[in-house]
Amino acid sequence: MIGIMASRKILLGIVVMGLTIFLWHAFIYRRQSSKLQMVNQELTKVDRQISDWISETKGLSDYHKSLTVLEGRHRQLLARIPDMDELPELSQQIVALGKEHGCLVAYIRMPFSVLFPENLEPRPSGEGGLIVLPFQLVVRGNFRSLAGFLESMTELPCFSAFGELEMKRTAGDGNELETQLTMRINVKQEKARPKGLS
């Protein structure tokens, strides 16, 4: 009888343990397992988002490099646009280029407003921009020297365009030509502008 009681206790203990394991698995482990799966899914989503963000930021760094290059180019271009007070020096450079190529720059006619800046019309504060000033030049030399001079004018530290250009032979030497041309130069105009020019 004692053996049957002991075996019943053991059997009852096994049933209670099995039931406890079953209840633990059904109510605790499964819930924790589903929560763990949800956490893993969220971590996977976050990992994907981080990967996407990293790939996007690689594009941003390329964009930043391109922007830096463009800003540098913009500064270089701005450096080639003279201020009004730099125009006399630019005229001296034109005369020096003529001498370098064997040409005589007979005269350079600047707009009245460049020679007499007191005729400048004030601009509203903060308003800036560019104006185009026409310069008239008369240059003398043979055809080859004039061609070299005109080509080298593109290397001046300014943005310019040639308008009217007229060539004719001079009265003296049969090889000498006189060239009259209009050169339009972009000039920085920050606080004032010549009257009648835009």
In the predicted structure, residue 126 carries a pLDDT above the cut 60 = no
pTM recorded for the entire structure: 0.53
Cα gap 40→11, rounded to integer Å: 40
Distance, CA of 20 to CA of 45 (rounded, Å): 36
According to the per-residue pLDDT averaged within each range, which of 19-23, 45-49, 99-103, 155-159 is highest? 99-103
Predicted local distance difference test score (pLDDT) of residue 21: 79
Q: In which band, very low, low, confident or very high, does the pLDDT at 121 lie, cut at 50, 70 and 90?
A: low
C-alpha–C-alpha distance, residues 44 and 29, integer Å: 22
Higher pLDDT, 179 or 2: 179
pLDDT at 139: 93
Instruction: State the average pLDDT for the chain.
Output: 77
* Confidence check: pLDDT of 188 > 80: no
